[in-house]
Structure 1
Amino acid sequence: MIVESKLAGKTVLITEATRNFGKDLALAFAAEGSNLMLASRDNLEYLEQTTRDVQALGVQVSKSQCDLSNESEVEDMVGQCVVQFGSLDVVINNVLFSMPPQSLEEIPFELWKRKFDVETTGSFLLFKQVIPQMIQQQWGRVVNFTGMDAFNGADVMSSATEMGLVGLTRGIAREYGKYNITANCIGPGGIENEEAEGLHPVSPSQRDAIPRRGTPEEVAFLAVTLCSEGASYITGQTLLANGGKHFL
């Protein structure tokens, strides 16, 4: 039995499409024939380049500059997406941004607040706009990207915000499953591009089940799979793409 993704013609919104796995995610969904709304709060030159690369695959694509911590910008972005494409079916929330780890007593309050504003409050503002549209459509897919710090406690600030995304995802899954909306998390670790993106890379070791670095394409494949029709019974879960560095 061959299970098709059935994502052709679906509209996919990818937040922070300029960092971490954003471009790889965009290309993976474009290869499935999805329409794309690519968003970023900064790095607009890279956003423009990613948009051109996706357009080359022959799908419809639009872009938006959006700071998720700004409610009016989020509302405008989601509205633009629905007006242009007629639906909003999939949200890939790639909102995490990284910074050097700090001890709890060393973290400035403004830095703590900014990280929560963008990652936690920003995600709330995003789904406050998105979920009503998915309810109206009676179908939706949510994938939130979290990080390994949520589970290993390696950095107190990232642990807090990343676990917050896990909790938000579970809440969405529980409350809106009756509308054919699923919500899951992906937790990447040990991926090839992490050093370039300023994350906290973990080198493969003999203790890893798969002793190599993962690829962004493998992470993107997992996201596409979770959003496919064949994954309609998977919700509220966190899947770690980390080569067996950590098990849940």
Structure 2
Amino acid sequence: MRLDGKVAIITGAAAGIGEACCDVFAAAGAAIVVADYDEAGAHMVARRLADKGASAVSIAVDVSDEQACADMVALAVKRFGGLDCAVNNAGIAHTPTPIQEIDVALWQRVWEVDALGVALCLKHEIPALLKRGGGSIVNIASGAGTHGARHMGAYVAAKHAAVGITRTAAIELAPHRIRVNAVCPGLIATARNNQNLPTGMKWSDLVSNPTGRLGEPHEVANMALWLASDRSTFVNGEAIAIDGGKYLS
């Protein structure tokens, strides 16, 4: 799967799934805009890619800030001449909490990043893709975007919204040769995930899929690459699970 000559934006790119996406997209030949709330982390990833011969630039982006999303796309156009694909991966979760105990501020912040953030990225990515005559957008949602998850109410609600936004955009943009899909990971082995657990607990303690392990960031990144490439040109509006078969039974 190659993306030679293509330009990609990847949000939440300083670590975890986003960083893995940067690696596989750069290896496939794409120029990368490395975007993350963590400015220093994004810069380190972009520098590492550049040291390996890839074209990469970093930018600090809070996806809940519309101007930041607009600036991100403008950077892609200015530095690399346009935009061909995007992986909207930026997101936050929260410590598992009974739904009646989640406070309003937490509901709002998770919603702003995980749902509104996707919408704002799309709002500014789509015009750039239209100018290129088409492209592909991959939204990193979650298994929580298609199923319930105990004590993760705010996250579940926002990820369901992200899947709904994906499907609506796919319908609207298909006539313009822009595909929009969602990837729905299960539990993935990232440092950030461990930060959202109560002291003494590990996500590996919660594994409940038939495969019997956590997923790896590169496994999600490879699916995102396939969706961004010409290998998946008849795939549109899907919410594709990468969860080790968690919901098979």
Does the TM-score normalized on the shorter chain lie above 0.5? Answer: yes
Distance 1:163 1:194 in 2: 24
SS for the counterpart of 2:139 is: strand
| 2:149 alignment partner, one of 148, 153, 156 | 153
8 Å contact from structure 1 (residues 190, 203) kept in 2: no
Q: 1:111 maps to what in 2?
A: 106
Moved over 6 A (4+): none
8 Å contact from structure 1 (residues 189, 202) kept in 2: no
Q: 1:231 maps to what in 2?
A: 232
SS for the counterpart of 2:16 is: coil
* Identity between Structure 1 and Structure 2 (%): 28
8 Å contact from structure 2 (residues 115, 158) kept in 1: yes
Q: 1:48 maps to what in 2?
A: 43
Q: Which moved more, 1:183-192 or 1:221-230?
A: 183-192
8 Å contact from structure 2 (residues 43, 57) kept in 1: no
The within-5 A match list for 1:120-159 is 120-150=115-145, 151-154=147-150, 155-159=152-156
Distance 2:70 2:206 in 1: 41
State the Cα distance separating 1:104 from its structure 2 match. 2.4
Q: 1:30 maps to what in 2?
A: 26
Aligned pair count reads 242
Encode CA deviations 1:153-191: one digit per residue, 9 max, x unaligned. Answer: 322111100000000000111110111111111111132
8 Å contact from structure 2 (residues 106, 154) kept in 1: no
2:210 equivalent to 1:213: no
State the Cα distance separating 1:247 from its structure 2 match. 4.2
Distance 1:196 1:124 in 2: 23
Q: 1:84 maps to what in 2?
A: 79
8 Å contact from structure 2 (residues 2, 29) kept in 1: no
Q: Measured at CA, do residues 236 and 208 of structure 1 come closer, stay the same or move farther in structure 2, by a change above 3 Å?
A: same
8 Å contact from structure 1 (residues 19, 197) kept in 2: no
Encode CA deviations 1:12-43: one digit per residue, 9 max, x unaligned. Answer: 1001102331111101001001000011112x
State the Cα distance separating 1:56 from its structure 2 match. 2.2
CA RMSD of aligned residues (A): 2.0
Structure (1 or 2) with the greater helix fraction: 2
> TM-score, normalised on structure 1?
0.90
Q: 2:166 maps to what in 1?
A: 169
Distance 1:147 1:198 in 2: 17
Encode CA deviations 1:105-154: one digit per residue, 9 max, x unaligned. Answer: 22221221111112211221111111111122121111111122221332
Q: 1:9 maps to what in 2?
A: 5
